Amino acid sequence: MRRKTSARLGLSAFLLAAACAGTGLAPTATATADSPDTPLASDGLLKAMQRDLGLSPAEARERLVDEKQAVKVERAAKKAAGDAYGGAWFDAGRGRLTVALTERSAAADVRETGADVRFVEHSAAELDAAKARVDKFVDKAKAPKGVASWRVDAKANRVVVDVVEGHRADNDVTSFLRRARATAPLRVDTVPEAPSTFAAGTVGGDPYYTGNVRCSIGFSVHGGFVTAGHCGKAGAGVRGWDGSNIGSFQGSSFPDNDYAWVSVGNGWWTVPVVLGWGTIPDRLVKGSAEAPVGTSICRSGSTTKWHCGNLLAKNETVNYSGGAVVRQLTKTSVCAEGGDSGGSFISGDQAQGVTSGGWGNCSSGGETWFQPVNEILQRYGLRLHTA
């Protein structure tokens, strides 16, 4: 980035590095211990988890240790389960991962990995195929405004459709549910609001702009950073918080997906850091191992800064206001607001994804979805910038 002085938030060139780092952050990060007996935590992170998840510092430390183990167990258990794999979820109260199985013959091998076992009717492959059939008929007709999203829920062993409160009896919603039931084992839940994306109009002093839209930087990659696709189209120029040119959108997809990557040049550079905004020390990014459902997760964004919550579901199809349907999103209980779009979702020191959209706010609460970062890296052939 440009080397110039600034009093913004008491930072100088560090904040400039933050804007292009792919993280909306500053590079003054605190390294975390890698010992298996030491949680990836700082006092600030523990305080954020205590605030957002209702945990004590000791409970937060214990949970981080359990979640780190659950990531390893999930990989091993999925391999051990084979075709009988029905999905997995983390139980925060018990600190253990549960794996759903369709065959009892796989139970012993899965238990040896350290996972608990629950027997179910449908495999993960069957549920994913059922959800794909729902996605397919939506491709041919616009999703109803009263349908917020649909996803595979391993714990329920169903495809779950979220309907906006007060819209269950709408003709187009009942028609959608009828078609969905014909193709998938279904459960219908109610949500208070429809989701929307979190882009915002120009506000001075925030990480990056394209046109009159402000969004947040996600993660550094070699050559640039990744962010949300709805923030800008391929070829659009990108400016930093100080108005100087960063680069341009090299690739962008929205709707269907919600991801993009931006080149970095003109004196800007990238660093493998996520900004803690003074709530926690800035976080070094060391990889992108995917966290299981049920684990804690935190988000950094230019509007509401640092917030934490739980990872609720994966591979969810979301119907944003205006009929923009986006697939393969991950759902969280983390709040967000306008301008947070594109920002970093991180678990410990592992990059998870970029903020897409949601409902609610950080005063009353809500839910937010992110586009998984590994999909973005694979799509564009990018390499995550890690510490």
Cβ atoms of residues 151 and 313 within 8 Å: yes
206, 258, 282, 349: the catalytic one is: 258
230, 282, 302, 385: the catalytic one is: 230
> Tokens 């990989």, residue?
75
Determine the Cα–Cα distance for residues 296 and 294; give it in Å rounded to an integer.
7
Determine the Cα–Cα distance for residues 302 and 320; give it in Å rounded to an integer.
21
> Tokens 């258990």, residue?
77
Active site includes 258? Answer: yes
341, 344, 347, 356: the catalytic one is: 341
Q: Could you give the C-alpha distances from 351 to 139, 219, 289, in angstroms and in order?
A: 30, 8, 7
User: In DSSP terms, which residues pair with 210 in a beta bridge?
Assistant: 213
Determine the Cα–Cα distance for residues 313 and 155; give it in Å rounded to an integer.
10
Looking at residue 84, what DSSP letter applies? G
Active site includes 122? Answer: no
> Tokens 């187009």, residue?
172
Determine the Cα–Cα distance for residues 255 and 229; give it in Å rounded to an integer.
8
The residues near 243 (Cβ < 8 Å, ≥ 6 apart) are none
∠ CA 80-83-86, rounded to 5°: 85
Active site includes 83? Answer: no
> Tokens 């952050």, residue?
25
Task: Give the catalytic positions in this structure.
Answer: 230, 258, 341
